[in-house]
Structure 1
Amino acid sequence: MGRNLAYLIGIIVTILIGIYFYNSCCNCCNGTVDDKDPAQETPIANEPTATSYPFALADGDFLYEVNDNFNFNVSSPSFLLPLSDSVKKGVAALSDHLSTNAERVVNIIGYYKADEENTTAYPNLGIARANSVKNHFVTSGISSAQINTSGQLMDEMIPEEGIYLGPVAYGIEAKDSNADEELQALYDKIKANPLVLYFETGQASINLSAEQRQKVADISRYLDKAVDASCLVIGHTDNTGSRATNIKLGQDRAEFAKNYLMQNGIVESKIEASSEGPDNPIVSNGTEAGRAKNRRVVVTLN
């Protein structure tokens, strides 16, 4: 009996040892190793750090800088609300500084990236962003005549969860001694070659060419600098239908264009919309091509 028992135990031990080595080999084949070699692990790429630009102003003894600023969604021309208290204090401080230094101007430089979608009336999103900040400055008591706006390509910007942190820079300098002559030259340029828009009845948006966008920027700049200036938005039609109907149609088109300019930062009080209906054709209405050219809205200066 004892000999048979020893034989049986030997068989059981042999089976257990076989199971152990079988499982070990399977684990090796399936790549399930408990102790992994750190050198063989795939490294996780570090995400790029979001860029952030401060609200920084400097002009002689006047200094103000905080690590906050106007923030914008990607491809958006309008800054996000609410503004931080530190930015509000900075704008108030700038307003006080410029009010006691009438010959100083603040330059607002809006940043943008080439791959952003620009749906505004301005040549680039940088100018549109600078214009958005400018309008806030004006409502905060800063004269638009003391504000310059421009755009700058900044492809190294990196958003944080779809938001650009402070894509706006500032500089303060003396007013250009040739500013009045330059303003007159800008007026003459706009009057000689006004903005003309052609669109079909019921059109819900206006798509501008690069040249037209620059004209909007020029008009906006002139209106900022010339305190009493205003722009005229005049609707024109062809001669199809009654004059009364066309006068109304021309007014509707003028109001449509006015609203578009207002959406792009030109204040309502500086825009006058009117209609001349069919009374001022630029070509003959005898052909469809001619009638199409007469159906227009002209934006110029008063």
Structure 2
Amino acid sequence: MQGKYAYLTGIFLVILLGTYLNWNFCCQIQDRASTAGFDPSGPPVNPLILKDSGGSFTVSQNENFRFYFSDYNIVPPLGAGVRIAIDSLKTYLDAHPNRYLEINGLYGAGERNISSYADLGLARSVQVRNYLIARGIDPEQLTNSGRAAESLVAYDSMYVGPLEFVFHEQKEAEITSPDSLASVLREDPLVIRFEWGESEITLSEAQQKKLGLLATYLELTDDHHCQVTGHTDNTSSSRFNYELGLKRAAFVKEYLIEYGIPEERIAIMSKGETEPMAGNNSEEGRALNRRTVITITE
């Protein structure tokens, strides 16, 4: 009988000990976690302001686009205020086709550019542009740029609204038709060159502009595509050069997708070393041959 009581007492003590440990190590940790990193002041308010000083449009919302330090992807979720502002912007631009919006992305000191774009600000502006297009805004009424900024509104490794929005007048000559765009892109296709053995790229301002023309052309046409063809010099084997050309073409394809061009509108291929545009007996000639050419097709 005494053994039975001892057994029951042991079970009771184990239950008490488990209850205590659960309270001490679980509940108190949850209490600490709920207050860890809490800032009673909250994130700073950097309102999203869209104002056309040359027109009659102004909208302001306390919510804004957010980006993590050294990142160019928009941090979800976007607040209702952002969506309201962009929908108002669409209504305004639809009613004023002679106006367009320049999206200037900003980046701060110490940020590392992990994108394929010339700078992190430009990469951020492209992401915002893609969002605006997804909300129904005409891509012809949007342009991109980027620059460094000395002071940005930061909170918990996050930038709130590292962007500038500037309205401009669209001159009649700048409103291009699909035929005129096709003529420009066929006569002077976008060519991206690579250093020896490399497949990464950084586009110049002129190349960025031509990429914008390509994106606009594909937006305006439903049955046309773009062809990305990789080329190399002859410093390696034919098999290696073919694979390197294909790798470069695939990299450019991902770049185009990131810019907002639908994946199904992009085809890739490699010519390897078979179609040089210059002799391979000099470094200058080999540099010209290491290229990827983007053309438009039906």
TM norm structure 1 = 0.66
Partners of 1:187 and 1:273 in 2: how far apart? 21
Question: Quick check: 1:191–1:300 contact (8 Å CA) kept in 2?
Answer: no
Select the residue among 51, 55, 66 that pairs with 1:58: 51
- Equivalent position SS for 2:140: helix
- 1:136 equivalent in structure 2: 131
- Equivalent position SS for 1:116: coil
> Which residue identity is paired with 2:112?
E
Question: Quick check: 1:187–1:301 contact (8 Å CA) kept in 2?
Answer: no
Report whether the alignment pairs 1:98 with 2:93. yes
Partners of 2:158 and 2:186 in 1: how far apart? 37
- 2:213 equivalent in structure 1: 222
- 1:108 equivalent in structure 2: 103
Question: For 1:255-274, what aligned pairs fall within 5 Å after superposition?
Answer: 255-269=250-264, 271-274=266-269
Question: Quick check: 1:74–1:116 contact (8 Å CA) kept in 2?
Answer: yes
- 1:5 equivalent in structure 2: none
Aligned residues: 244
- 2:292 equivalent in structure 1: 298
Root-mean-square deviation (CA, aligned residues, Å) is 3.6
What percentage of aligned pairs have identical amino acids?
Answer: 27
Report whether the alignment pairs 1:82 with 2:80. no
Select the residue among 202, 206, 219 that pairs with 2:200: 206
Partners of 2:238 and 2:119 in 1: how far apart? 41
Question: Quick check: 1:121–1:264 contact (8 Å CA) kept in 2?
Answer: no
Report whether the alignment pairs 1:148 with 2:139. no
Question: Quick check: 1:254–1:273 contact (8 Å CA) kept in 2?
Answer: yes
Question: Cα deviations across residues 103-146 of structure 1 (Å, max 9, x unaligned)?
Answer: 22222221222432112232222221111100001111111111
- Equivalent position SS for 2:167: strand
- Listed as ranges, the gaps of 5+ residues in structure 2 are 1-41
Change (3 A) 1:66 1:221: same
- 2:4 equivalent in structure 1: none
Question: Cα deviations across residues 126-171 of structure 1 (Å, max 9, x unaligned)?
Answer: 2211111000011111111111222243212141111111112323
Partners of 2:214 and 2:288 in 1: how far apart? 27
* Larger-Rg structure: 1
Partners of 1:246 and 1:133 in 2: how far apart? 37
Tell me by how many angstroms 1:271 deviates. 3.6
Report whether the alignment pairs 1:167 with 2:158. no
- Equivalent position SS for 1:134: helix
Partners of 2:184 and 2:155 in 1: how far apart? 41
Tell me by how many angstroms 1:199 deviates. 5.1
Select the residue among 111, 118, 126 that pairs with 2:113: 118
